[in-house]
Amino acid sequence: MKIIQRLLVAAVGVLALAVPTAWAAGEYYKPNKHVWSWEGPFGTYDRGELQRGFLVYQQVCSACHGMEQLHLRNLGEQGGPFYLAEYPNANDNPIVRAIAAEYIVEDGPDEFGDMFERPGRPSDRFPYPYANQAQGRAANGGAYPPDFSVIVKARKQGPEYIRSLLLGYDYEPPDDLEVRPGNYYNPYFPGGLLAMAPQLQDDLIEYPDGAPATREQMAHDVVTFLAWASEPHMEARKRMGLMVMIYLLALAGLLYAAYRQVWSNVKH
């Protein structure tokens, strides 16, 4: 029995050494629960939140984080932030065309074999902020900013985690945790330290619709936009699922009626 007890004590000691400092200090927090409009089988994206969230991404996040899996035209497709029914072809959407023109894209080669720059088009992918990964690491102290195309799907409790992380810079680090220059303490990040500085502050941007640009509102909006970016066809999928369920229920009713009709003349 004593041998077993000693082995258990030794195992606990090893696990304690393996636990990140933030855990040991009791400062590793689970993401806060939050209510999102798209949750549930009938949830949909709020268009105002999507448009405001895109603005936050464009003015705050896009300096470091790209969205290489998305094209600019996706913004104007059905279900997107700037979808217009009168422009079913998103390449013709004037809002999307204006947004695309704000970017400068490298293209080519031309007839002389040279690369050249031009205004963006809806058919272009979201421009990546760095020429390559090495440049991205060099600009961020060795940390490579992750792509935001599917960041919500790639993280456990994605929406809640990202929102909590964006709002989690107000905590004091534990006494036994050394925060080196270039790192920032955030108890929602595994290990407690990350290279991303606090990004959101009240009135950092101005919303065209007059909504208050508080830290909480901006975090909510940009997470909504990133959730859409991770699954831009969610609403269509839910509509299809509802139609399938209605069809299956109707089919089940017809099959039951046929069953009763077939066996109604059978004598027991």
**pLDDT tens, position by position, 203-229:** 999 999 999 999 999 999 999 999 999
Alpha carbon distance 235, 18 (integer Å): 43
Of the chain, the end-to-end C-alpha distance in Å amounts to: 69
Same domain, 218 and 244: no
Same domain, 176 and 63: yes
Between residues 1 and 231, the one the model is more confident about: 231
> Whole domain around residue 268: which residue ranges?
237-268
Same domain, 48 and 154: yes
56 pLDDT higher than 60:
yes
Looking at the structure of the chain, the number of domains it has is: 2
Between residues 173 and 265, the one the model is more confident about: 173
Q: Does any domain span residue 92? A: no
Per-residue confidence band for 139, with pLDDT thresholds at 50, 70 and 90: confident
Same domain, 223 and 245: no
71 pLDDT higher than 70:
yes
Name every residue whose Cβ is closer than 8 Å to that of residue 212 and which is 6 or more positions away in sequence.
none
Q: What is the CATH number of the domain that holds 162?
A: 1.10.760.10
Please report, rounded to a whole number, the percentage of residues in the chain having pLDDT higher than 70.
89
142 pLDDT higher than 90:
no
Same domain, 241 and 216: no
Q: Does any domain span residue 93? A: no
Asked if 150 and 230 count as a contact pair (C-beta separation under 8 A), the reply is: yes
Alpha helices in 71-212 (DSSP H): 94-101, 133-138, 151-154, 158-166
User: Model's pTM, two decimal places?
Assistant: 0.83
Same domain, 46 and 154: yes
Per-residue confidence band for 116, with pLDDT thresholds at 50, 70 and 90: confident
Same domain, 158 and 263: no
Mean pLDDT for the chain?
Answer: 86
3-class DSSP state of 182: coil
Per-residue confidence band for 14, with pLDDT thresholds at 50, 70 and 90: very low
Same domain, 40 and 140: yes
